[in-house]
């Protein structure tokens, strides 16, 4: 299935072809057992499988995913993951049914205890330079291929300390885009401790949790964070930045003074 669908639309008194972002149900199966169904853009699905599995704490390491199969049907796409037995045992013990709608990061959680995971704070590293974030933000739009074609997708990417960006991934769901980038980084064996992530959305609680789960110490969003996201970022030593533009931002948690001085 392609990530873009062509549709005839009526505009300015005439019929015109238009490109629309595709979304389809994507089911996750672990060792043959159904776990979750998310609506997602059908692109970079192996990255999605790895990123979701790691950021949701289903597996502890990339190496614990032994195989990823993909089965496409009329109803959607099934990602069939084979994971380590110890991870599968833990998954069955803490299993939840996750019926995800676009943009929903916690749909289907069966208890409040499943929302707050027990995570250790990240080690404090060198502050990330604001100039690099600004440079990354300037470069990102040109690489948002699906957004340029459809106007309907979010993106996430890695920003390097020199302002270059990599691992740009897009999806109709902001959580999915982040999971795809995290999965691509994990599949590439990239050490993320000395880099930042930029997301073209608001920064909600689960976005901070997902980034911290993979050791990312700086998360920057083009929109605002939530109060719970800020509190979580503070507790996990994550520098959280909102309203990132080409030359301005708001720093909500982390090394505020050091970041400002580095600009």
194: helix, strand or coil: coil
In sequence order, the 6+-apart residues with CB closer than 8 A to the CB of 63 are none
- Residue 182 contacts residue 210 (beta carbons within 8 Å): yes
Sign of CA dihedral 79, 1, 179, 68: positive
- Residue 183 contacts residue 206 (beta carbons within 8 Å): no
d(CA 7, CA 223): 30
Q: Residue 69 corresponds to which tokens in the numbers above?
A: 């199969």
50: helix, strand or coil: helix
The secondary structure element, H or E, covering residue 71 is strand 65-73
Using alpha carbons only, give the angle 33, 38, 42 rounded to the nearest 5 degrees. 105
Number of continuous H segments (helices) and E segments (strands) in the chain: 8, 13
| Residue 104 is among the residues annotated as catalytic for this protein | yes
Distance of CA 168 to the CA centre of its chain: 10
d(CA 22, CA 146): 10
Q: Residue 60 corresponds to which tokens in the numbers above?
A: 């502890």
- Active-site option among 104, 107, 157, 249: 104
- Residue 213 contacts residue 60 (beta carbons within 8 Å): no
**Which of the residues are catalytic?**
104
């Amino acid at each position: 299935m392609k990530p873009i669908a062509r549709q005839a639309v009526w505009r300015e008194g005439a019929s015109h072809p238009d490109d629309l972002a595709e979304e389809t149900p994507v089911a996750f199966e672990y060792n043959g057992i159904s776990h979750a169904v998310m609506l997602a853009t059908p692109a970079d699905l192996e990255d999605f499988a790895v990123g979701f599995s790691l950021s949701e704490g289903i597996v502890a390491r990339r190496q614990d995913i032994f195989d990823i199969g993909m089965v496409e049907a009329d109803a959607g796409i099934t990602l069939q993951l084979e994971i380590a037995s110890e991870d599968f045992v833990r998954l069955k013990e803490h299993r939840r049914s996750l019926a995800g709608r676009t943009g929903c990061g916690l749909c289907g959680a069966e208890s409040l205890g499943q929302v707050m995971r027990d995570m250790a704070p990240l080690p404090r590293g060198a502050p990330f330079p604001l100039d690099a974030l600004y440079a990354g933000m300037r470069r990102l739009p040109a690489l948002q291929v699906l957004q340029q074609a459809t106007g309907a997708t979010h993106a996430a990417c890695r920003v390097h300390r020199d302002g270059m960006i990599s691992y740009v991934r897009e999806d109709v769901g902001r959580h999915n885009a982040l999971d795809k980038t995290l999965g691509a980084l994990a599949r590439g064996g990239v050490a993320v401790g000395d880099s930042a992530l930029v997301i073209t959305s608001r920064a909600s609680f689960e976005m901070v949790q997902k980034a911290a789960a993979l050791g990312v110490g700086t998360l920057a969003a083009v929109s605002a964070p939530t109060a719970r996201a800020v509190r979580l970022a503070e507790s996990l030593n994550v520098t959280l930045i909102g309203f990132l533009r080409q030359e301005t931002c708001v720093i909500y948690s982390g090394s505020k003074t050091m970041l400002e001085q580095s600009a």
